[in-house]
Amino acid sequence: MNLTIIVVVFFIAVAGAIFYIRKMEKQRTEALAVVAKQLGCEFQENPDENFQKSFDKFQLFSKGSSKKIRNIISCNNLNNTCDIFGYTFTTGTGKNRSISTQTVASFSGRQLDFPDFDLCPQNILHNIGKVFGYQDIDFESSPEFSDKYLLRGKNEKTIRSLFNQRLLKYFEKNDSLYVEARANRVIIYKPYQRVKPQEIKNFYNQSKEVYQQLCEALGV
């Protein structure tokens, strides 16, 4: 096989892969639009620039480059707003380039004022980091929570006040959650995991439960 044929075959394969990916993404967008209608929510394939900028202060959205939000399902009432969407960003370059895609649930309320915090499952790297002064807010009254989760934030006193015994027990029983709060908004997600359209309703209900637990702890 000469070089010309190899090049042609290569480009056909690349074009085929691109076509397949675009087709699958289109099908996903169409399926999510149907889910939004079933939930009685609005759907938007691409947000305006201000929507994406509103997440700039969150730790998840501070990573990487080529950041993109798509396929937004929005459920609103008088006091609360919920947006479920796909978020993609790129890290590294060349052979080390990696694309991260996850489904994010965002909840916000007019009367809310959460202390800024980041909560995620604890791993061995976090334990090593703590030896060198990496922050982790632990609770002597809840060693199980402290073993399972890494909790960080600037205003430790206010965060400790929010995480009362009831909230700590809730997270002990639900030990794989990633939660971030900034002022009146909370986001919930699992890194690198994109929820299937048929599982969006369950993801919404699970995320809503987390949000409600946080609101109750806040006294709202």
Q: Choose the weakest-confidence range: 25-29, 40-44, 68-72, 166-170.
A: 25-29
- At residue 17 the predicted structure's pLDDT band, cuts being 50, 70 and 90, is low
Q: What pLDDT, on the 0 to 100 scale, is given for residue 132? A: 44
Answer whether residue 8 shows pLDDT above 90.
Answer: no
- Greater confidence (124 vs 41) lies with 41
Check whether 129 has a pLDDT greater than 60.
no
Residue 9: the pLDDT is: 58
Mean pLDDT of 105-113: 92
The tens digit of pLDDT for each residue in 138-164 reads: 999 999 999 999 999 999 999 999 999
Supply the pTM of this predicted model: 0.84
Mean of the per-residue pLDDT values of the chain:
87
The whole-number average pLDDT for the span 55-82 is 92
pLDDT in tens, 157-209: 999 999 999 999 999 998 789 999 999 999 999 999 999 999 999 999 999 99
Whether residue 2 is predicted with pLDDT greater than 70 in this model: the reply is: no
| 79 phi and psi angles, rounded to 5 deg | -110, -20
